[in-house]
Structure 1
Amino acid sequence: ENIPMIPGLENFPGDVIHSSSYKSGKSYSGKNVLVVGSGNSGMEIAYDLATHGANTSIVIRSPIHVMKKELIRLGMALAHHLPLNLVDKLLVMAAYLIFGDLS
């Protein structure tokens, strides 16, 4: 387990666990949970927590693009007719309209 030392973490009254120790979201139902990182493990854990009724938040270092399957399908269809850089810009704009500013 490699949990980075975040200032103030030693005074945090809640549980702090590494993804390698995570088993299930069952015991977190109704609790506020913060997942640090958006790698495969972080995103899978966040999804599992949310499906088990935890109030789940994710914090990440760098911006990411959030997409829906429908937007990906639209992008694949548009890529047959438009330049990829234009398709990318259209999908980012559509995601902003759907999800708002996620920064």
Structure 2
Amino acid sequence: TQIMHDATEKDFSNATELADYLATKGIPFRQAHEIVGKLVLECTQKGIYLQDVSLEEYQAINPVIEEDIYDTLASKTAITRRHSLGGTGFDQVKKQIELAKTAL
């Protein structure tokens, strides 16, 4: 599981989390999506990831972004938040494993 965790720290799978974060701060999702798209492009050009962007850089993009952005971008937080039926949250995955075991 450490290998899987490390892999999620070296990609942009948390981009949706950033867009959701901005939306909860009052930014329309369409605008949040555009902001995140531009930021991901900048990050790829610099060879960094969203969690590597400094708070000052985030706040230059939009001052509503606070220190809690780094918790939001953490892979474990992102997985835990996805708890809808059939989602990727831990509880949902456990349920699917149990269902698969009984089907076998």
Q: Using structure 1 for the length normalisation, give the TM-score.
A: 0.27
Higher strand proportion (structure 1 or 2): 1
Higher helix proportion (structure 1 or 2): 2
Which protein is bigger by CA-based radius of gyration?
1
The one of the two structures with greater contact order (alpha-carbon pairs below 8 A, sep at least 6) is 2
Q: Using structure 2 for the length normalisation, give the TM-score.
A: 0.27
